[in-house]
Amino acid sequence: MSEWDSVAENVDFNLEISDENFVKTVSQEAKILDFGCGYGRIANQLYHLGYRHLVGIDCSIKMINRGLIEFPHLDLRYFPGSILPFADNEFDSIVTCAVFTCIPNQDVRKHILIELRRVLKPNGVLYLAEFCSEQSQRFTSSAGVPMWHSQQRELKIILDGFNVEQSQVVENSTMSGHASHASHIFARKTI
């Protein structure tokens, strides 16, 4: 059982992605993986931007069940394992939104990144939208989930085999309304 199951029915995630930069960087025909899609909020946003080749995957069955009810037009899949059920080089782009934020261990983050890189095509674009903090803060969220608002530098360290093409830090309040920041990184898989 995922620690996210208990809040899946009523949580409303609020970290924003940059539509403008995504549309400029990723073509409409792209096959996109929304890794850690939760209930499909971001995949649905991409759908409304015109993207149609979308797959969302999440390790919380209750998040996926909610998403399939709220957004029946989306391909959302429950997958609790660590080796993704996709071929090498399958996706043109991968998005994570507030996923590494709730993985407070750098080695676990690195393992996930290796797997994301495997399923991304050479030259494919990884978009990480994650909460961050200058002070690198680990804490337990009001939902009872361990969090790590790492420095943007700590997110970039795990991007082995990628070229960072754009990176920004912007203001984004947390779900509980506290002032905070988010890191937006577009990185391309090196060949």
Ligand X SMILES: C[S@@+](CC[C@H](N)C(=O)[O-])C[C@H]1O[C@@H](n2cnc3c(N)ncnc32)[C@H](O)[C@@H]1O
For ligand X, the binding residues (CB under 6 A) are 2, 4, 13, 15, 36-38, 41-42, 58-60, 63, 97-99, 102-103, 112
Beta bridge partners of 98: none
Give the residue with the Cβ less far from ligand X, 95 or 187: 95
Residues in the chain: 191
Name the residue nearer to ligand X (CB basis): 63 or 74: 63
User: Is 116 in contact with 189 (CB distance < 8 Å)?
Assistant: no
Q: How far is the CB of 109 from ligand X (least distance, A)?
A: 10
Shortest spacing between CB 165 and ligand X, in angstroms: 21
Using Cβ positions, the residue closest to ligand X within the complex turns out to be 38
Adjacent-strand bridge partners of 32? 54, 93
What's the closest the beta carbon of residue 160 comes to ligand X, in angstroms? 18
Q: How far is the CB of 164 from ligand X (least distance, A)?
A: 21
In the structure encoding, which two tokens stand for residue 39, read together? 């209930």
Name beta bridge partners: 181. 132, 171
Least CB distance from residue 15 to ligand X, whole Å? 6
Q: Which of residues 82 and 123 has its CB atom nearest to ligand X in the complex? A: 82
Q: Report the residue number, 63 or 125, with the smaller CB distance to ligand X.
A: 63
Nearer to ligand X, 105 or 163 (CB): 105
The least distance separating ligand X from the CB of residue 32, rounded to whole angstroms, comes to: 13
At CB < 8 A and 24+ separation, what contacts does 38-41 make? 38/4, 38/8, 38/11, 38/13, 38/63, 38/67, 39/8, 39/63, 39/64, 39/66, 39/67, 39/70, 39/71, 40/67, 40/68, 40/70, 40/71, 40/74, 40/76, 41/13, 41/97
Q: Which is nearer to ligand X, 6 or 122 (CB)?
A: 6
Is the distance from CB of 122 to CB of 175 less than 8 angstroms? no
